[in-house]
A and B are shown apart, each in its own frame.
Chain A
Amino acid sequence: MADHTATHAVHDPNLGTTGLDHRKMGMWIFLGSDCMFFGSLIGTYLSYKGKSLSGPGPHDVFNIPLTSYSAALLLASSLFMVLALTRLNENRIRAAAFWLFATAAFGLHFVLNQVYEFATFALDEGLTLSTSLFGSSFFVLTGFHGAHVTGGVLWLSILMVLALRGKLDRRDYTKVEIAGLYWHFVDIVWIAIFTIVYLIP
């Protein structure tokens, strides 16, 4: 019986022959491919920078204080995400649900700031996807990032609801850790976009 238990403990169906969790490995592979996706978009943005023939330029439209605030929101949400994971590991499910809620709420606030920013650019500054090379490369890059954040907010919200319904506990640590990896990834992409697109003159 003891041998059977030991054998059962070793044969976790989620662990591959490398001894690593294949779900987590799959997420790292996805994040690696997403790095190349965003690398292409950032490279295109930089290549087109300063080559627009019409429309406003980056520093005619950017609202650095607002964008800095958005950057702070995402950085704070990354802290909340690791706190949620820590609480889940301690099997404090209510606390984990609270930190998942805080992470999703800050992410949603980031998305709403981006919607406001896009609306201001389009309505007040006349900058749209079709105005200039700057407009198209800027909206595609930051828009895809915003779509990633929106997906993350939905994912975290589902995890939070599962936690509140008692369908998530410390045995689901890896499931939440994978969601966390995705969330931190959108944070690091924003770290790059914030500097390369908004801050560098």
Chain B
Amino acid sequence: MAEAHTAAQQSHGGGHVTVKTYINVAVALAILTAIEVATLYTPGIPHTLLVSALLFMSALKFFLVVGFFMHLRYDSPIMRALFVGPLIIAIAIILALLALLGAFILLPRHVP
């Protein structure tokens, strides 16, 4: 039982990441969060660039946590598919709702 447990643990990611790696990831997350907040208070950044930068940093933090803290980087491809598949659907839901409720209508409406 213990042997099977250890084998499963090794193959599912538990034994691959060291405490040092976890601390490095946590420091990276803290730095990215600080940059995000600082970006918000920096004047003169064009809106499109600001939104793109914030979304990029957020995505980076997201994948750092999923990849290292949740061990998905080292986990079975089946586990990866079980999470990444619905994540893609979730992004599609967000885009569909935005399109459905007119968020992508860029031109002003002509009121007669």
Interface residues of A (CB under 8 A from B): 8-12, 15, 18-21, 24-25, 28-29, 31-33, 35-36, 38-40, 42-44, 46-49, 64, 68, 71-72, 75-76, 78-79, 81-83, 85-86, 89, 170-171, 173-174, 177, 180-181, 184-185, 187-188, 191-192, 194-196, 199-201
Contacts and interface: CB of A to CB of B under 8 A. Distances in A.
Contacts of B8: 12, 15, 19, 21, 174
Contact of B14 (A42, A44, A173, A192): A173
Contacts of B100: 47
Interface in B88-111: 89-91, 93-98, 100-103
B96 to A, nearest CB: 7
A35 B83 contact: yes
Contacts of A174: 5, 8-9
A171 B94 contact: no
A32 B26 contact: no
Contact of B4 (A12, A78, A188): A12
A64 B22 contact: no
Given A21-B12, A40-B93, A195 B26 contact: no
A200 B51 contact: yes
Contacts of A170: 5
Chain B contact residues: helix, strand, loop or mixed: helix
A128 to B, nearest CB: 22
Interface of B: 1-5, 8-9, 11-12, 14-15, 17, 19, 22-23, 25-26, 29-30, 33, 36-37, 40, 47, 50-51, 54-55, 57-58, 61-62, 65-66, 69-70, 76, 78-79, 82-83, 85-87, 89-91, 93-98, 100-103
Contact of B91 (A39, A68, A185): A39
Contacts of B23: 79
A74 to B, nearest CB: 10
Given A195-B55, A199-B36, A82 B87 contact: no
B93 A10 contact: no
Given A12-B4, A71-B33, A184-B70, A83 B22 contact: yes
B3 A9 contact: yes
A61 B67 CA distance: 34
A24 B79 contact: yes
A199 to B, nearest CB: 5
Contact of B70 (A47, A48, A64, A181): A181
B33 A20 contact: no
Contacts of B40: 64, 199, 201
B29 A75 contact: yes
